[in-house]
């Protein structure tokens, strides 16, 4: 295991031309203190967990102390925000400290969020607040537990420094980790600057770092774009199946690796509502839950445009068509798994669609219903009262249940075996907004970080029911339904 001093930093991104980034040093948090440490993330870079006990740890990741070999830069990118070209953006409050490779050769960017102003801050203060860092810290691990590709977080470092948002809050930093932080908007920057040589340079860099199997093959750039399209399709299919709304799917928030990136105003569905908008700033509902697959397509078109100097139009169209097919294929497969079906059938989409309509009409809790569906009994005399009670219109559910029973019977499904499979894909726990808010309030008002620990323990394995943790699976209380999150979250 490694110490802080032996992490062996590198920064391949900083060896690109200086027009790709700005060199900048973190602005230290005054009197930094460790709020929380993620031992699972530390293991990804072979960091000894005991290092978090050292006073130097908070200094390193609060911006006061630069580790040997670190080469800090803030990354340039452009983007489309809420469907409108926004021009230059870039890391206004985050600094890429460098990269660390673990003993298996896996590369991890160490990206410090809330590290102060950079040339891309656009009059912002470059800070993050404790509230938003807790939200990202928790949700990255929640997504990891669900098996959804995501960035990770090593730690939160806090301070009493006042930071002004809707109200005065305290500052914090988050050490975010990912194999790369290159975004769709990274390519857009050089397209709109008409720096085609830089597009090629960035594409070659991404292929070498992230898609080495494509190096030297025919049509390398189009093959990379196709892989990005498929990864993005699979990611969004997983979001839709688990009931996750990202909230701000701007093209600059889209990872070239198909990772869930930039956790701000996200939300998991409580009552099933396909039009769910989790972002208070999204007044037009552009990023509503049911729009996410189409927004993924839009963002891929932005990326295709950025790569257009090197893509043949037919190749780009083929990749976009592959996105649509890959999304449908993966989403259908995931929903079959949620229903406990082992084989594909021609009626499956209708069966899923009818169920979702029932959930919407009955304002049924999405996560809890699918978890309970594992207990469906196929026997002719079984009425499945516990499931019927989710619905006001029980007769409508009975009609659907009859078709579901026939579908299960057609493939010889056995109740016990099916339930075991369904419990491995239908989570018992998700990071509902009111749960995150409880942890935030205890941390910000009482300096009590124990709720962060409890949530992480549950969310790392959200499929296993834990005795005594029943409240964490409950729908939100009435006040918990009114929590507002915005881009500042």
Cβ burial, residue 350 (10 Å; 0-12/13-18/19+)? exposed
Rounded CA-CA distance 427/368 in Å is 8
Identify whether the C-beta of residue 371 lies closer than 8 Å to the C-beta of residue 476.
no
Its sign, for the CA torsion 457, 459, 461, 467, is: positive
Q: Which two structure tokens, joined as six digits, stand for 444? A: 């910000």
Is 204 one of the annotated active-site residues of the chain? no
Digitized pLDDT (tens) for each residue of the chain, 489 residues in all: 999 999 989 999 999 999 999 999 999 999 999 999 999 999 999 999 999 999 999 999 999 999 999 999 999 999 999 999 999 999 999 999 999 999 999 999 999 999 999 999 998 999 999 999 999 999 999 999 999 999 999 999 999 999 999 899 999 999 999 999 999 999 999 999 999 999 999 999 999 999 999 998 999 999 999 999 999 999 999 999 999 999 999 999 999 999 999 999 999 999 999 999 999 999 999 999 999 999 999 999 999 999 999 999 999 999 999 999 999 999 999 999 999 999 999 999 999 999 999 999 999 999 999 999 999 999 877 789 999 999 999 999 999 999 999 999 999 999 999 999 999 999 999 999 999 999 999 999 999 999 999 999 999 999 999 999 999 999 999 877 767 787 765
Annotated domain spans of the chain: 4-181, 185-337
CA-nearest of 365, 333, 355, 343 to 403 is 355
Q: Which two structure tokens, joined as six digits, stand for 303? A: 């990326």
Rounded CA-CA distance 133/354 in Å is 39
CA-nearest of 141, 175, 180, 173 to 159 is 173
pLDDT at 486: 73
Torsion angle of C-alpha atoms 432, 281, 26, 105, degrees rounded to 10: 50
pLDDT at 53: 97
pLDDT at 397: 96
Phi/psi for 57 (5° steps) reads -60, -50
pLDDT at 483: 78
Rounded CA-CA distance 452/34 in Å is 13
pLDDT at 29: 97
The active-site residue, picked from 91, 109, 252, 262, is: 252
CA-nearest of 328, 419, 370, 149 to 243 is 370
């Amino acid at each position: 295991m490694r110490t802080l001093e032996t992490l062996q930093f590198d920064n391949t991104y900083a060896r690109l031309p200086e027009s790709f980034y700005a060199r900048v040093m973190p602005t230290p948090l005054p009197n930094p203190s460790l709020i929380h440490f993620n031992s699972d993330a530390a293991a990804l870079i072979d960091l000894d967990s005991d290092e978090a006990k050292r006073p130097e740890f908070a200094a390193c990741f609060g911006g006061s102390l630069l580790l040997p070999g670190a080469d800090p830069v803030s990354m340039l990118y452009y983007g489309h925000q809420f469907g409108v070209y926004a021009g230059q953006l870039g890391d206004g409050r985050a600094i890429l400290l460098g990269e660390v490779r673990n003993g298996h050769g896996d590369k991890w960017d160490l990206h410090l969020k809330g590290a102060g102003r950079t040339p891309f801050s656009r009059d912002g203060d470059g800070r993050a607040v404790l509230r938003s860092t807790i939200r990202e810290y928790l949700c990255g691990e929640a997504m990891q537990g669900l098996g959804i590709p995501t960035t990770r977080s090593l730690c939160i470092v806090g301070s009493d420094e006042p930071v002004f948002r809707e109200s005065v809050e305290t500052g914090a930093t988050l050490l975010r980790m990912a194999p790369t932080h290159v975004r769709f908007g990274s390519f857009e920057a050089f397209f709109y600057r008409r720096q085609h040589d830089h597009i090629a340079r960035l594409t070659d860099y991404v292929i070498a770092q992230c898609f080495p199997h494509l190096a030297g093959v025919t049509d390398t750039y189009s093959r990379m774009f196709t892989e990005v399209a498929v990864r993005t399709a699979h990611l969004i299919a997983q979001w839709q199946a688990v009931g996750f709304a990202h909230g701000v799917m701007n093209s600059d928030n889209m990872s070239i690796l198909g990772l869930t990136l930039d956790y701000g105003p996200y939300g998991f569905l409580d009552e099933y509502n396909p039009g769910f908008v989790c972002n208070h700033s999204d007044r037009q509902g552009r990023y509503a839950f049911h729009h996410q697959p189409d927004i993924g397509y839009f963002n891929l078109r932005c990326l295709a445009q950025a790569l257009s100097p090197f893509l043949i139009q037919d190749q780009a169209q083929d990749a976009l068509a592959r996105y649509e097919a890959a999304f449908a294929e993966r989403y259908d497969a995931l929903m079959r798994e949620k229903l406990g079906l082992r084989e594909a059938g021609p009626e499956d989409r209708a069966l899923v669609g009818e169920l979702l309509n029932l959930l919407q009409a009955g304002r049924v809790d999405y996560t809890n219903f699918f978890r309970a569906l594992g207990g469906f009994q196929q026997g002719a005399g079984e009425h499945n009262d516990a499931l019927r009670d989710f619905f006001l219109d029980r007769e409508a559910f009975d009609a659907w249940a009859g078709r579901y029973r026939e579908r299960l019977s057609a493939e010889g499904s056995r109740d016990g075996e099916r339930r075991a499979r369904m419990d491995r894909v239908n989570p018992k726990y998700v990071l509902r907004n009111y749960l995150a808010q409880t942890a935030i309030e205890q941390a910000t008002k009482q300096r009590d970080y124990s709720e962060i620990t409890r949530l992480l323990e549950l969310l790392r394995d959200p499929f296993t029911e834990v005795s005594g943790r029943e409240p964490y699976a409950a729908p939100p209380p009435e006040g918990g339904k009114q929590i507002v999150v915005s881009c500042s979250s």
